[in-house]
Structure 1
Amino acid sequence: MSEVSQGGRQPTIREVAAHAGVSPMTVSRTLAGGVNVRPDVQQRVLAAVRELGYHRNENARSLRPGQASGLIGVAITNLGNPYYGNFALGVEEVAAEYGRRIVLGNTGEDPARERQLIADFIGRQVEGLVLVPSGGASDHLQPERLGDIPIVLASRRVYGLDVDAVLLDDVGGAYRGTRALLDAGHTRIGFLGNVRSVFTGQRRYEGFARALAERGIEPDPDLVQREQQDVESARDAMRRLLDLDDAPTAVFSSNNRNTVGALKEIGRRLKAGADVSELPAIVSFDNFELAELMPVPVAVIDHDARQLGREAARLLLSRLGGVDRRGPARLVEMPVTLAPSSTD
């Protein structure tokens, strides 16, 4: 068992050295690039670092003993998505109220990048973490690996990780949006979603399928596209839906990047002479840029990304402030609203 899991603290460089059977200087040289350290010794040191969960202390020279860094690490999945920019602003607003600053990083939905980013944050002695998780393995997020650093998950949960989280009403919102399409007379409804491992994508598909089931409709596999992580892949998925012999008359899009991709494909077809009446109505989970100017009906399942960030920051800062520092995990689920399209 590692020193971290035994003591609930971060291991020291001396403990890493003892574990690897080398000197502390050799560990330091390895972590600084490996100059004058044999490759086999570097491998032993790096294995010890991984096994013990050691993180370099990047702030050690600038902080006096016992001095807090005042930093909060914020890791999001897509810096190019305006949604997450607003989310980060919400975290920053609340952090600033308490005299703290945020350090922002992007994981790109890559579990390996997430793992490295969290390690970098810890090395900079952040006081707490706010994370939109990528959905991969969670061993690096377990309390025994983070030591005394509290973490709050936002938008998504990680199965097997019992920590504070702020979520949206994903299932209920998707259910209401799909039901609105059914009430409008649509029965062939397409679904655009992201990869199956993404927590929100699973929940929003659940709401979509529940609404169909209430009307006795089984989801048609030909109408379900679930692997899109960016605008261009969503555009391709929408093209596949519209090229079907029996194309959907409406589409439920599970996030704003999928919606923008779908509308790009619709715009291309309109330029090529398609009749707008032949194109599907859309319900989008998440608002997006210029939603009110779209040429086809687009209803939006809306919520405040900035408020989501504020709620995550408040949960974290209540831990840092000593309120329930080690209390049971808390879950906040924020409501969403269905705003009808401007053509309704």
Structure 2
Amino acid sequence: MQKTGSDDGAPARRRRSARPTVQDVALLADVSPMTVSRVLSGGKNVRPQVRERVERAVAELGYHRNENARSLRPGHRSGLIGVVITNIANPYYADMQQGIEEVATAHSRRILVGNSREDVGLEQQLVADFMGRRVEGLIVVPADPASSGHLSAESLSGTPVVLASRAVDDLDVDTVLIDDVGGAFKATTVLLKEGHRRIAFLGNRNSLFTGRRRYQGFRQAHEAYGVEVVPELLRTGQQDVGSAEKAMLELLALADPPTAVFSANNRNTVGAIRAIESVRRRSRDADGAAAKEIRLFGFDSFEFADLSPVPLSIVAHDPRDLGRRVAGLLFERIDGTAEGRPPRHIELPVSLDQ
């Protein structure tokens, strides 16, 4: 039987190609291509030690199964762009997706959308699935700023990727951000100038890129104004409306509740409005008196924000424009017009709607 390894004891390995194949995996794992296919398709008639060798070879080579191989003729592109978002329930990402689709359609491409739910493991799986479908490029809202291996040029075999809304540590690729720090700073400064000294912060986990940056702007405004941040008024980790409402109810139940709230995203803002209105209604029902007004300043707009029953200002920007800008950078990489250019980092401005 012909050996797949070399006779002199050197490992039977190839340099990673731009698109590793089943044959590459088979050579490295010292098995037949048919065995590789059985492992990848979940076949059970494979010895555990053989399966382990194949899986190790797949990981080392960065092999992605080609789901489109039967439908693509040689030399033809898939016509697909992969988009990974973190929260499909947030209308913000629906608007961003529309911006991406506008540009993709203009380039005769379609998009595949996956929801990572802020889970890095799921994000890695989605990226692998998209790569298996031979997407021409990826747009990712990353779940974790410290997790970059699956988005590296080596792991993606040269497929271009652009990050939207968040950056990733140690990953220097085209990135489009929002002025998170500046927007939070300006909004909090407005509240401080209005005389508020007990300002609550309602936001995402500080481990998230945007959550950390928006809290940074909140704190910097206090420092610039010579006012201490009140620790008992800080609530982070709310990823949806329900958890934000609960956090806001906790703040309102304090012996000395906040007079103003800075909300770091639209899901937290909606939760805050629900909580404030709930307490206000109960107060009216109990003694006929209106509850004390609480000033609210939220980052990111949302539908019907102008009809809020709570005094509300917004740090506004256009998520559809964010989508267009991200997609524009991606297609410059795909079409080769940005070839040789260093990664571009763009920070889009915000405005205050008061």
Same fold (TM over 0.5): yes
Aligned counterpart for 2:137 among listed residues 128, 132, 135 = 128
> 1:334 aligns to what?
348
Aligned counterpart for 2:222 among listed residues 212, 215, 218 = 212
Aligned counterpart for 1:312 among listed residues 320, 326, 338 = 326
Hey, what's the Cα distance between the residues in 2 that align with 1:84 and 1:114?
Answer: 16
Question: What are the Cα deviations for residues 232-265 of structure 1, in whole angstroms up to 9, with x where unaligned?
Answer: 1111111121111111100000000111111121
Aligned counterpart for 2:22 among listed residues 10, 13, 24 = 13
Distance 1:29 1:252, change over 3 A: same
Hey, what's the Cα distance between the residues in 2 that align with 1:337 and 1:52?
Answer: 46
Hey, what's the Cα distance between the residues in 1 that align with 2:301 and 2:12?
Answer: 45
**Retained in 2: the 8 A contact 1:73–1:104?**
yes
Hey, what's the Cα distance between the residues in 2 that align with 1:220 and 1:20?
Answer: 58
The AA in structure 2 aligned to 1:152 is V
1:197 has 2:207 as partner: yes
**Retained in 2: the 8 A contact 1:8–1:148?**
no
> 2:40 aligns to what?
31
Hey, what's the Cα distance between the residues in 1 that align with 2:117 and 2:91?
Answer: 14
Alignment of 1:187-336 (within 5 A): 187-273=197-283, 276-336=290-350
The AA in structure 2 aligned to 1:267 is E
Alignment of 1:70-109 (within 5 A): 70-109=79-118
> 1:185 aligns to what?
195
Hey, what's the Cα distance between the residues in 1 that align with 2:133 and 2:33?
Answer: 20
The AA in structure 2 aligned to 1:285 is F
- What's the offset of the Cα at 1:125? 0.5
- What's the offset of the Cα at 1:280? 1.7
**Retained in 2: the 8 A contact 1:241–1:248?**
yes
Hey, what's the Cα distance between the residues in 1 that align with 2:138 and 2:294?
Answer: 41
Percent identical: 54
**Retained in 1: the 8 A contact 2:245–2:268?**
yes
**Retained in 1: the 8 A contact 2:294–2:310?**
yes
Question: What are the Cα deviations for residues 114-151 of structure 1, in whole angstroms up to 9, with x where unaligned?
Answer: 00000011100100011111015110001111112111
Structure 2 unmatched ranges of 5 or more? 1-10
**Retained in 2: the 8 A contact 1:63–1:69?**
yes
The AA in structure 1 aligned to 2:244 is A
**Retained in 2: the 8 A contact 1:3–1:10?**
no
The AA in structure 2 aligned to 1:273 is S
Hey, what's the Cα distance between the residues in 1 that align with 2:39 and 2:293?
Answer: 59
- What's the offset of the Cα at 1:40? 3.2
Greater C-alpha Rg: 2
**Retained in 2: the 8 A contact 1:10–1:145?**
no
Q: What RMSD in Å do the two structures reach over aligned CA positions?
A: 1.7
Structure 1 unmatched ranges of 5 or more? none
Aligned counterpart for 2:161 among listed residues 143, 148, 151 = 151
Hey, what's the Cα distance between the residues in 1 that align with 2:259 and 2:213?
Answer: 23
Hey, what's the Cα distance between the residues in 1 that align with 2:303 and 2:274?
Answer: 12
Hey, what's the Cα distance between the residues in 1 that align with 2:204 and 2:331?
Answer: 31
- What's the offset of the Cα at 1:25? 0.7
- What's the offset of the Cα at 1:3? 7.6
The AA in structure 2 aligned to 1:101 is R
**Retained in 2: the 8 A contact 1:3–1:9?**
no
Hey, what's the Cα distance between the residues in 1 that align with 2:102 and 2:51?
Answer: 42
Which secondary structure state, in structure 1, belongs to the residue aligned with residue 221 of structure 2? Answer: helix
Equivalenced residues, count: 339
Aligned counterpart for 1:63 among listed residues 72, 80, 101 = 72
Which secondary structure state, in structure 1, belongs to the residue aligned with residue 309 of structure 2? Answer: coil
Hey, what's the Cα distance between the residues in 2 that align with 1:35 and 1:108?
Answer: 31
Hey, what's the Cα distance between the residues in 2 that align with 1:8 and 1:20?
Answer: 16
Greater displacement, 157-166 / 10-19: 10-19
> TM-score normalized by structure 2?
0.92
- What's the offset of the Cα at 1:277? 4.8
- What's the offset of the Cα at 1:226? 1.2
Question: What are the Cα deviations for residues 55-86 of structure 1, in whole angstroms up to 9, with x where unaligned?
Answer: 10011111111111111111111111110001
Question: What are the Cα deviations for residues 150-188 of structure 1, in whole angstroms up to 9, with x where unaligned?
Answer: 110000000100000011111110011001111111011
Greater displacement, 310-319 / 214-223: 214-223
> 2:3 aligns to what?
none
- What's the offset of the Cα at 1:109? 0.5
Question: What are the Cα deviations for residues 270-298 of structure 1, in whole angstroms up to 9, with x where unaligned?
Answer: 23125555142110000023211222111
